[in-house]
Chain A
Amino acid sequence: MPSPDAFNCGTNGQFCISCQAGMTCNAGICGASQNMMSGGNCQSGDLKLAEMTTANATSVVSMGQLQASASVQFAGQAAFETPTVGVCVPNDAVSLVVSPGVGMNSVVSWHLAGALGQKVDRSTATSWLTWSSPGVMVPKSPTLTVSPGHHELRFATTAQNGVINPSLGVRRGTRATMSKITINVVFVAGSGLSQNDVTTLFEGSAVFDQVLSQAGIEVTQVGAGSINDGSLTVINDSELTRLSQATIESLADAPMVDGAVNLYFLQEVRSADAAGTLLGQAMSVPGMPKAPAREGVVLSVDAHRAGGVIQSTAVWTTLAHELAHWLGLRHTSERTGTIHDLIDDTPQCLASRDTNRDGLIAENECLGFGSDNLMFWTYDFSNPHTQVTAGQAFVLSSALTVEPK
Chain B
Amino acid sequence: MNSLVLLVSVVLTQAGGADELGPLLRRAHQGPTLAEVQRVIPQPASQLEAIALDTKRFGIERMRAVDLLGEIKAASAVPALDSLARTGDLASLKRHSLEALARIDVARAHAAAVAMLSATDVHVRAAAVTLLGAHPSAAGQRAMERLMATEADPVVKKAANRSQR
Contacts and interface: CB of A to CB of B under 8 A. Distances in A.
Interface of A: 190, 192, 230-231, 233-234, 267-268, 271, 274-279, 300, 302-308, 311, 314, 318, 321, 335, 356, 358, 360, 363, 377-382
B39 interface: yes
Interface string B12-49: 00000000001100111111010010010000000000
7 closest pairs, A vs B, by CB?
A303-B60, A302-B92, A275-B30, A302-B59, A234-B123, A305-B59, A268-B92
Contacts of A306: 55-59
Contacts, number: 102
Contact of A305 (B36, B58, B67, B154): B58
Given A378-B29, A381-B26, A279 B60 contact: yes
Contacts of B155: 230-231
Q: Is the interface of A mostly helix, strand, loop or mixed?
A: loop
A231 B26 CA distance: 26
A379 B23 CA distance: 9
A228 B24 CA distance: 34
A368 B106 CA distance: 49
A303 B92 contact: yes
B23 A382 contact: yes
10 contacts: A230-B153, A234-B92, A267-B91, A277-B96, A300-B60, A302-B63, A307-B56, A314-B58, A380-B23, A380-B28
Contacts of B145: none
Nearest to A192: B91
A267 B91 CA distance: 8
B64 interface: yes
Nearest to B26: A380
Interface string B51-85: 00001111110011001000000000000000000
A373 to B, nearest CB: 13
A378 B27 contact: yes
A102 to B, nearest CB: 22
Contacts of B33: 274
* Chain B: number of interface residues, binned into ranges: 20 to 34
B92 to A, nearest CB: 4
B23 to A, nearest CB: 5
A235 to B, nearest CB: 10
A366 to B, nearest CB: 14
B93 interface: yes
Given A192-B91, A267-B123, A382-B23, A277 B55 contact: no
A271 B158 CA distance: 21
Contact of A276 (B36, B67, B95, B154): B67
Q: Point out which of A305, A311, A356, A379 has the most chain B C-beta atoms below 10 A from its C-beta.
A: A305
A377 B58 contact: no
Contact of A382 (B26, B92, B153): B26
B90 interface: yes
A275 B31 contact: yes
B58 A379 contact: no
Contacts of B4: none
Nearest to B122: A230
A230 B23 CA distance: 31
A305 B90 contact: yes
Contacts of B67: 276-277
Given A233-B123, A234-B123, A267-B91, A303 B59 contact: yes
Contacts of B23: 363, 380, 382
Given A190-B122, A230-B155, A358-B39, A379 B59 contact: no
A210 to B, nearest CB: 18
B29 A231 contact: no
Contacts of A276: 30-31, 63-64, 67
Nearest to A308: B89
Given A190-B123, A267-B123, A302-B59, 12 more contacts: A192-B90, A231-B154, A276-B30, A276-B31, A277-B31, A279-B26, A303-B92, A307-B55, A378-B27, A381-B28, A382-B22, A382-B23
A303 B58 contact: yes
A318 B58 CA distance: 13
B49 to A, nearest CB: 18
A277 B89 contact: no
A140 B82 CA distance: 49
Contacts of B63: 268, 276-277, 302-303
A277 B153 contact: no
A356 B30 CA distance: 19
Contacts of A268: 63, 92, 95
B47 to A, nearest CB: 18
Q: Point out which of A303, A321, A360 has the most chain B C-beta atoms below 10 A from its C-beta.
A: A303
A127 B126 CA distance: 42
B45 to A, nearest CB: 18
A267 B121 CA distance: 11
Contact of A379 (B22, B28, B39, B57): B28
Nearest to B60: A303
A302 B28 contact: no
B27 A380 contact: yes
A355 to B, nearest CB: 13
Interface string B134-165: 00000000000000000001110010000000
